[in-house]
């Protein structure tokens, strides 16, 4: 079975600073990988996804993520954080082929200081 | 209009009561899911359905049941609510290519 670890429960950054949120997965082959964002009081919105091909994936709102097979990681990055990026971020993994049942990490809460 | 809607958005109930949470979608997706979110635990899958005649348990189905009344409707029931079912509940659908989930706004349930 697949699993996801987000080692950071909270991350605090200053507005304008760069951001990296960590995600490690466990799966026997190359999985489908996702990052979702949850703003306060909202449902989850897809930021980006990786299925195959280029390991650097561009998403919405200026986010990108890099798939590193050797490290089983899919870290989310943004070069300059805006106050509106304050939210909960979830990494998710799904098996390739077969049933589409994503497994979510526990989430990282991003706090942005002015 | 929202593609995935959930009703009610907030509900406070008492221990032992039967509660139904409803989810409707206009995306035409076959696959629908129910998750619960607890602080620090992320999203955990309760039930999922691949079509009207297909219902499957997720990792935390005990104490819950579901009904897929139509392609567009997927309801979650708590037969006898207990306080540790207090949580935020999300419904989701999956795109035909199964490469993205679309989430509803959530239902905040409090069991006293």
Q: How far apart are CA B55 and CA B110, in angstroms?
A: 26
The dihedral through the CA atoms of A47, A29, A52, B100 has a sign that is negative
Band of pLDDT at residue B100, cut at 50, 70 and 90: confident
**Contact list, B99 vs chain A (CB under 8 Å):** 32, 49, 51
CB contact (8 A) between residue B105 and residue A107: no
Cβ neighbour number for residue A104 with a 10 Å cutoff: 22
Closest CA to A34 of A78, A74, A77, A87: A74
Q: Are A94 and A26 in contact (CB under 8 A)?
A: no
Task: Give pLDDT tens digits along chain A (114 positions).
Answer: 788 999 999 999 999 999 999 999 998 777 899 999 999 888 899 999 998 889 999 999 999 999 999 999 999 999 999 999 999 999 999 887 767 788 999 999 999 998
Q: Which residues of B touch A47 (CB under 8 A)?
A: none
Residue A52 has a pLDDT of 86
- Determine whether the interchain pair B99/A102 forms a contact, defined as Cβ–Cβ distance below 8 Å: no
**Angstroms from A18 CA to nearest CA on chain B:** 24
């Amino acid at each position: 079975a697949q699993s996801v670890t987000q080692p950071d429960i909270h991350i605090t950054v200053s507005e304008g600073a760069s951001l990296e949120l960590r995600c490690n997965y466990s799966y026997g082959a190359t999985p489908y990988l996702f990052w979702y964002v949850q703003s306060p009081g909202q449902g989850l919105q897809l930021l980006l996804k990786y299925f195959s091909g280029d390991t650097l994936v561009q998403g919405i709102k200026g986010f990108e993520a890099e798939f590193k097979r050797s490290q089983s990681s899919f870290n989310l990055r943004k070069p300059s954080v805006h106050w509106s990026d304050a939210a909960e971020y979830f990494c998710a993994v799904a098996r390739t082929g077969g049933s589409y049942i994503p497994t979510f990490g526990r989430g990282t809460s991003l706090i942005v200081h002015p | 209009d929202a593609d995935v809607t959930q009703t009610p958005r907030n509900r406070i109930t008492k221990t032992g009561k039967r509660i139904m949470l409803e989810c409707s979608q206009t995306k035409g997706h076959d696959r629908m899911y129910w998750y619960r979110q607890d602080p620090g635990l992320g999203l955990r899958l309760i039930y999922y359905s691949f079509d009207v005649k297909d219902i499957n348990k997720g990792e935390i189905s005990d104490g819950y049941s579901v009904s897929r009344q139509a392609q567009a409707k997927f309801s979650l029931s708590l037969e006898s609510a207990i306080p540790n079912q207090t949580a935020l509940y999300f419904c989701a659908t999956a795109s035909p290519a199964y490469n993205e989930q679309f989430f509803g706004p959530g239902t905040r349930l409090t069991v006293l």
